[in-house]
């Protein structure tokens, strides 16, 4: 067995571990009792849910993002890079034979994601508000994900560094279920509850938007 194959096994075992742990967390979460809502529904639940997953995530929907467009776009670029990096990891056994502009584009995408992740990491030391709110887990989670994307970019440009990519991926995936990275599985739930709660109270979509569209 070559070292590349050994690190590949490590990375995919870590991926399986992360998937199983996330599945277990979701199972526990789904078994929790929900608070009983005694209020009479007024609005449209479906409209609220659709809004929560679409325009409700637009930068102008929240004051914090309306006032910090740069940070919002930085976060979007970082998360797009993460999805790309995970795709690169899953497809890595077949991407080794890919050459040319496709490989360069994938490397650029992962590299930009790593860049914006590292900018966010540095911001947690520079911006007073972020610095006061950041925990050790915040710092390490952003750093390890940024390194994951950087190692993906490095491998696509320098094929001999594949074991580095797999080892960094393994560390990130084992750490993910026990860190703030696990917000990836709770995010969908939070938007669903948000949309259902305010949709049934005729709050979402906002009346201002409805009248504006009319």
52 lies in some domain: no
Range of the domain at 126: 3-33+69-182
209 lies in some domain: no
Across 137-164, average pLDDT = 95
- N- to C-terminal Cα separation, the chain: 66
What pLDDT shows up at residue 204? 66
Across 113-136, average pLDDT = 90
Of 117 and 189, the one with more pLDDT: 117
- Cα Rg of the chain, angstroms: 20
Give Dmax (Cα) for the chain. 66
Beta strands in 28-128 (DSSP E): none
| pLDDT tens-digit series, residues 36-56 | 777 777 777 777 788 888 877
56 lies in some domain: no
Per the structure, the count of domains in the chain is: 1
The percentage of the chain sitting over the pLDDT mark of 90, rounded to a whole number, equals: 45
Supply the CATH number for residue 112's domain. Answer: 1.20.950.20
93 lies in some domain: yes
131 lies in some domain: yes
* pLDDT grade for 24, boundaries at 50, 70 and 90: very high
What pLDDT shows up at residue 74? 85
CB atoms within 10 A of CB 207: 10
In eight-state DSSP terms, residue 177 is: G
For residues 64, 55, 85, 133, the Cα torsion angle rounded to the nearest 10 degrees is 20
| Structure token digits, residue 7 | 């690190």
Nearest CA among 162, 154, 145 for reference residue 8: 162
pTM over 0.85: no
28 lies in some domain: yes
What pLDDT shows up at residue 139? 93
What pLDDT shows up at residue 207? 60
What pLDDT shows up at residue 15? 95
């Amino acid at each position: 067995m070559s070292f590349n194959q050994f690190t590949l096994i490590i990375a995919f075992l870590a991926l399986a571990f992360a998937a199983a742990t996330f599945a277990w967390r979701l199972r526990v979460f789904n078994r929790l009792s929900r608070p009983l809502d005694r209020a009479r529904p007024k609005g449209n639940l479906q409209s609220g849910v659709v809004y929560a997953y679409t325009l409700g995530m637009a930068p102008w929907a929240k004051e914090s993002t309306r006032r910090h467009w740069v940070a919002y776009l930085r976060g979007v670029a970082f998360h797009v890079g993460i999805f790309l990096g995970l795709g690169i990891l899953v497809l890595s056994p077949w991407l080794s034979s890919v050459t040319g502009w496709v490989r360069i584009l994938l490397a650029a995408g992962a590299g930009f994601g790593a860049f914006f992740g590292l900018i966010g990491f540095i911001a947690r030391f520079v911006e007073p508000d972020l610095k006061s709110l950041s925990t050790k887990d915040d710092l390490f989670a952003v750093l390890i994900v940024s390194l994951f994307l950087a190692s993906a970019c490095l491998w696509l440009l320098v094929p001999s560094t594949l074991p580095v990519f797999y080892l960094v991926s393994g560390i990130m995936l084992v750490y993910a279920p026990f860190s703030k990275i696990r917000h990836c599985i709770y995010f969908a739930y939070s938007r669903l509850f948000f949309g259902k709660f305010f949709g049934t109270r005729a709050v979402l979509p906002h009346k201002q938007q409805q009248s504006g569209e009319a």
